[in-house]
Amino acid sequence: MQKMLTIISNVLRGSASRNGAELVSEGARVVVSARTYADFTPQATFDIKKCDLHKLEEGPPLQAVLTREEGLQYYRTMQTMRRMELKADQLYKQKIIRGFCHLYDGQEACAVGIEAGINLSDHLITAYRAHGYTLTRGGTVREIMAELTGRRGGIAKGKGGSMHMYTKHFYGGNGIVGAQVPLGAGVALACKYLGKNELCVCLYGDGAANQGQIFETYNMASLWKLPCIFICENNKYGMGTSVERAAASTDYYKRGDFIPGLRLDGMDVLCVREATKFAAEHCRSGKGPILMELQTYRYHGHSMSDPGVSYRTREEIQEVRSKSDPISMLKDRMLSNNMASVEELKEIDVEVRKEIEDAAQFATTDPEPPLDDLCNHIFYNDHPMEVRGINPWSKLKSVS
């Protein structure tokens, strides 16, 4: 009996883990294997908040079905994202990460919920607070962290840094506020042109939402019916400027004017997922673009050089942490519906911690890119060329 229970719990754990992490101690295993698969609720239905609608007759459903597998996967991904960002904070303070570093902790439900509502074959582009999306779009923690530390094993070979990470169908990581929005609409144009029923998710923040080029993009995306989901991650502050001080209208979901919009709770991964599914259906049916505003929050300041407390109170940050944390919300839902055990989630935490530690270890020990690589990747698919160095006698080589 004991052996059978162990086998079953191993299978469960194997399917839940992303990279087959080692099992924990004997004691914990004995406790977990006392519960069988039949003990956990395989799925549950949750009420989710109604979305505010703009130029839409109907919105996303008011209930979401969550399976145990989905729940564990969202939990693991959000936890990985959280721990990865906190580790980046640590490495930055140790001066191992330099330059700009914009952390995503607090906003995990947005990235995870959006990815859950689309396919990997769809496309996504965001601004500089991009580590979480690099992860959901297929990047590994190792290559993300090594890019932050500027090593050759980084996702962009150490050439890009925090704001310039790319994967398949993920176009970064963009440093110029608002620029990613027309780029994303361009990707959507390519989707429509090539006729593959793919769409592009195009993210921007409350700060970027006032950019002129975004309104130019709304116009063209709507005119040409581009399959584009515009998503405003409203975390209430554009760097140090609160939304009330930057925008004449803070109803970001209405700013698309002729584009239908939704405003929803960006701290609830199920809300985000259901709204994304709704939006994706809208785009894929050829109706053109749609706009989503996710109300969310970042725990860190704008970047690592901003403590984040000169324009907001510590009480506010603490309140969000205790009442609306996306990971806690999911955890509470799963535990109170018997979809997972405390120990099981703790085990995931341990595995995640280990993954982050390993990645950080790699990111700090991997060597920097070689000097030979300095001038490479200027042009694609081109013959090798000479690049002028710092003085006239310095002739450097560049290959594609």
Partner 1 sequence: MAYLRSILRSGKNAVPAVLRREFHRTLPAAVQQVTVRDAIKEALDEELERDERVFLLGEEVALFEGAYKVTRGLWKKYGDKRIIDTPITEIGFTGIAVGAAMAGLRPVVEYMSFNFSMQSVDHIINSAAKTYYMSGGLQPVSIVFRGPNGAAPGVAAQHAQCFAAWYGHVPGLKVVSPWSAEDAKGLLKSAIRDDNPVVFLENEIMYSVPFEMSEESQSKDFLIPIGKAKIERKGNHVTLVSHSHVVSRCMDAAAVLAKDGIECEVINLRTIRPMDMEAIETSVMKTKHLITVEGGWPQFGVGGEILARIMEGPGFSYLNAPAVRVTGVDIPMPYAKHLEENTLPQIKDIVFSVKKTLNV
The residue among 35 and 157 lying less far from partner 1, judged by its C-beta, is 157
Instruction: Tell me whether residue 380 is exposed, middle or buried, using C-beta atoms within 10 angstroms of its C-beta: 0 to 12, 13 to 18, 19 or more.
Output: exposed
Task: State the Cα–Cα distance between residues 29 and 34, nearest whole angstrom.
Answer: 9
Q: Per rule CB under 8 A, is residue 225 in the interface with partner 1?
A: no
Instruction: Take residue 244 and report the two structure tokens written for it.
Output: 């009330």
The residue among 53 and 220 lying less far from partner 1, judged by its C-beta, is 220
Q: Per rule CB under 8 A, is residue 397 in the interface with partner 1?
A: no
Choice from 9, 33, 73, 217 touching partner 1 (CB under 8 A): 217
Q: Per rule CB under 8 A, is residue 98 in the interface with partner 1?
A: no
Residues numbered 367-386 forming contacts with partner 1, rule: CB under 8 A: 376-382, 385
**Residues contacting 269, CB < 8 A, separation 6+:** 74, 78, 108, 109, 112, 113, 116, 326, 329, 330
**Residues contacting 27, CB < 8 A, separation 6+:** none
**Shortest CB 356 distance to partner 1, Å:** 23
**Shortest CB 187 distance to partner 1, Å:** 4
Whether residue 228 contacts residue 200, with contact meaning beta carbons closer than 8 Å, is answered with: yes
Q: Per rule CB under 8 A, is residue 205 in the interface with partner 1?
A: no
The residue among 65 and 387 lying less far from partner 1, judged by its C-beta, is 387
What kind and span of H or E run contains 397? strand 395-398
Task: State the Cα–Cα distance between residues 341 and 105, nearest whole angstrom.
Answer: 24
Q: Per rule CB under 8 A, is residue 100 in the interface with partner 1?
A: no
**Shortest CB 155 distance to partner 1, Å:** 8
In the chain, count H helices and then E strands: 13, 12
Count of residues that bind partner 1 according to CB under 8 A:
51
Q: Per rule CB under 8 A, is residue 394 in the interface with partner 1?
A: no
The residue among 171 and 362 lying less far from partner 1, judged by its C-beta, is 171
**Shortest CB 220 distance to partner 1, Å:** 6
Q: Which whole-number Å values give the CA distances from 208 to 241, 318, 400, in the listed order?
A: 12, 26, 34
- The interface mask with partner 1, positions 126-155, x = CB under 8 A, is ----------------------------xx
The side-by-side arrangement of strands in the sheet containing 200-205 is: 52-54, 261-265, 290-295, 228-234, 200-205, 123-125
Residues that bind partner 1 (CB under 8 A): 123, 125, 154-160, 164, 166-167, 171-172, 174-176, 179, 181-191, 193-194, 200, 212-213, 216-217, 219-220, 223-224, 376-382, 385, 387, 392, 400
